[in-house]
Chain A
Amino acid sequence: MAENNTLTLKNKQKTKLTGKKVWPYIFIAPFFIIYIAFNFYPLIDTFIISLYSWDGFGEKTFIGFENYRNIFTTDPYFLMSIKNTLIFMAGDIPVVLIGGILLAAVLNSKSLKGRTFFQTVAFLPYLTISVAIGVLFSLLFDWNQGTVNKILLQLGIIDKGINWLGDPKLARLTTIMMVCWKYIGYHMVFFNAGITGIDTELYEAADVDGAGAVTKFFKITIPLLRPTWEFLLVMNIIWGFQFFDEPKNLFSSWASTSGGTGVIGGPQRSCLTAIWNLYDTAFGTQMKYGKAAAEAYGLAIFICAFSIGTLMILKATRHDD
């Protein structure tokens, strides 16, 4: 307010400075207004809902922390869905990160021709509409008619079709393969961009010292790509907990011409992800809004633990700045 007075006085320089000070707040305002209205407010409201027993439409009954007690003790699916989500993350994150970095290294090798072609092809899965990915994999990995079993049979690798989507362990494996397929090219593009940014003189100097390709990869490429893989690792943990579209469509009845309803969470719910479970609790087969809200906050505990844990490990292992 005091500044307003000086502003009206005379000092032109001062006017300009005040104007400058206001602009950044105006620039960030749209983000905060929308975020608070549609994310922050519902996030708080979700906590309040989690203390009630509510079907979303009728009377609310206050039950305190009963929903939380329920999901952590008696409900069979909440902790299972967290476990499944973590299994998927443990299965796919190393593959997409390590695979992505190796592919980028190959892609950047001087001896390789057709770089743009390979980059585009590897990026295609990311550009396939995610509904289609689940459906496509359910067709490819179908027990009786799927192309994968047919190829394996013809090659003589197996003598009986594998029930990819019917066995809990294999269903998880298929889901992990599906995620890797979708994201490995995406990671390759990021790592490739990072490698392009590395000074080629470093590699030339290493050549002079007689370093082999493997040494150069571990001593130059990996350390200098650290910002890229740190970024992708953290993003993968965030994305991993949100996993929903693809498994939901992998186990829907969409592709079966015989009909029947989709299985929730795949065989024995082995592929029920945390978000799928939340969705199912409130909007799928049950209408338990309070319980689903509690599941959201239960999941938040795991997300915070894993994100903060990862950030701390990354910080501790960083050598220079």
Chain B
Amino acid sequence: MKARTVKKIILLIIMIIVAFICLFPFYTMIMMSTKVTEDIYKGIPLWPGNYLLENLKTVFNAHFEIYYKNSIIQAVSCTFLSLVISTLAGYAFAMYKFKGSKTLFSFILATMMIPTQLSLVAFIVEMRNIGWMNTLLPIIIPPAANGFGVYWMKNYIEGALPIELMDSGRIDGASEPQILTRIVLPVIKPALSSLGLMQFVSNWNSFLVPLIVLNKNEIYTVPIGIINLNSAYRNDLAAKIAALSLGTVPLLILYILTSKTFIKGITMGAVKG
């Protein structure tokens, strides 16, 4: 009895320390957003100040809503497109036997090993040649073909979907796309949710490519907008930190909305390796 209680307390203490470390920088960011710049470095920022609204005003005076709009357009469309492409391909590799499927799937696994950054130089030249500079297209279309996504959906579909289900659909006279949308899609919602969240986070964070292709204020996404706040508001550190907090809010909302199915998707998907 006593040993149990001790164990309970030790585990709780470990987790509280971990929670503290995880939360601390995050908490600091929120607290600093509520202060006047001069106060940020005064002591340890434990308590909120009363300057949050002013800081937000400053940020929106720099037209942060434009960056928000661009980022939402970019991250939502890229995530959607990538889910469609990954589901189609993952479904094909999981459920059909077709000529060359093994070789083609090995190719997809190989694409996961080759980071897109390796082709960066020629990619930028290509973007210039097809007139995609200063548009959101380079961060919507190319990243939508994601080997990891295909791999993820294939794994999940193999584990979650019995072939018989498809066959029963065929006997009922459903066409192949109908089987996919009516029978398969409802079953793989958790996988879509977990992959969707991971893709959205990575799209929202997209940094290297937009850093090079976006050179106009009207087309900046949130990360690029944030780093460029520097030129206009060099001295207003608190406002800049408020912008960082604002940039994180959509990811938090999305996680709260999807967390249940997200965990389920990971539980059923990744475990099979």
4 nearest A-B residue pairs (beta carbon): A227-B273, A38-B142, A45-B122, A34-B145
Report the minimum CB–CB distance from B235 to chain A (whole Å): 5
Q: Does A2 contact B (CB under 8 A)?
A: no
Bound-complex Cα distance A239 to B93 (A): 25
Residue of A nearest to B224 (CB): A131
**In the complex, A304 Cα to B255 Cα: how many Å?**
34
Closest to B151 in A: A231
Question: When the two chains form their complex, are residues B111 and A129 in contact, meaning their CB atoms are under 8 A apart?
Answer: no
B165 within 8 Å of A (CB atoms): no
Complex: chain A residue closest to B41, CB-CB: A145
Known contacts A106-B14, A136-B244; can you find 7 more A-B pairs with CB under 8 A? A31-B89, A39-B123, A109-B7, A112-B8, A136-B26, A238-B115, A242-B117
Instruction: Name the segment of A69-77, A163-171, A288-296 touching the other chain.
Output: A288-296
Residue contacts A-B, CB under 8 angstroms, 19 given: A31-B108, A41-B122, A42-B120, A42-B126, A56-B124, A107-B15, A111-B8, A112-B15, A126-B201, A128-B25, A128-B26, A129-B205, A129-B222, A147-B44, A193-B263, A193-B270, A227-B270, A279-B212, A283-B211
Nearest chain B CB to A124 CB, angstrom units? 6
Choice from A30, A46, A128, A257 contacting B85 with Cβ under 8 Å: A30
Measured in the bound complex, the distance between the Cα atoms of B147 and A8 in whole Å is: 38
Tally of A interface residues using CB under 8 Å:
103
Least Cβ–Cβ distance between A129 and chain B, in angstroms? 4
Q: How far is the CB of A8 from chain B (nearest CB, A)?
A: 20
Per-position contact with B for A284-318: 1 when CB-CB < 8 Å, else 0?
00000100110011011001100100000000000
Given contacts A27-B91, A111-B8, contact A125 B26 (CB under 8 A): yes
Residues of chain B touching chain A, judged by Cβ–Cβ distance below 8 Å, are: 4, 7-8, 11-12, 14-15, 18-19, 21-23, 25-26, 28-29, 32, 37, 41, 43-45, 84-86, 88-89, 91-93, 96, 98, 101, 104, 108, 111-126, 141-142, 144-145, 147-148, 150, 170, 175-177, 180, 201, 204-205, 207-208, 211-212, 222-223, 226-227, 230, 234-235, 237, 240-241, 244-245, 247-248, 251-252, 255, 259, 263, 266-267, 270-273
Closest to A290 in B: B121
- Which of A130, A137, A282, A292 has the most chain B CB within a 10 Å cutoff? A130
| A16 contacts across to B, CB distance below 8 A | 170
Question: Do B7 and A128 touch across chains, with their CB atoms under 8 A apart?
Answer: no
Q: Which of B98, B123, B247, B270 contacts A228 (CB 8 A)?
A: B270
* A255 CB contacts on chain B under 8 angstroms: 237, 240
* Chain B binder among A90-98, A200-208, A215-223, A246-254: A246-254
Interface pair A30/B84, CB less than 8 Å apart? yes
Cβ-based interface call for A28 (8 A): yes
In the bound complex, do residue B7 and residue A111 qualify as a contact, i.e. CB atoms below 8 Å apart?
Answer: yes
Q: Within 8 Å CB of B273, what residues of A?
A: 226-228, 230-231
In the bound complex, residues from chain A placing their C-beta under 8 Å from that of B248 are 127-129, 132
Q: Say whether B176 contacts A20, CB under 8 Å.
A: yes
Residues of A within 8 A of B123 (CB): 38-39, 42, 46
- Contact residue among B32, B85, B201, B223 (Cβ-Cβ distance under 8 Å from A131): B223
The chain B residue with its CB closest to the CB of A137 is B25
Residues of chain A lying within 8 A (CB to CB) of residue B7: 109, 111
Chain B residues with Cβ under 8 A from A227's Cβ? 270-273
Return A317 CB to nearest CB of chain B, in Å. 15
Q: Which residues of A contact B267 (CB under 8 A)?
A: 193-194, 196-197
Contact residues in A for B116 (Cβ distance below 8 Å): 39
Rounded to whole Å, the gap between the CB of B87 and the closest CB of chain A is: 9
Q: How many Å from the CB of A55 to the closest CB on chain B?
A: 12
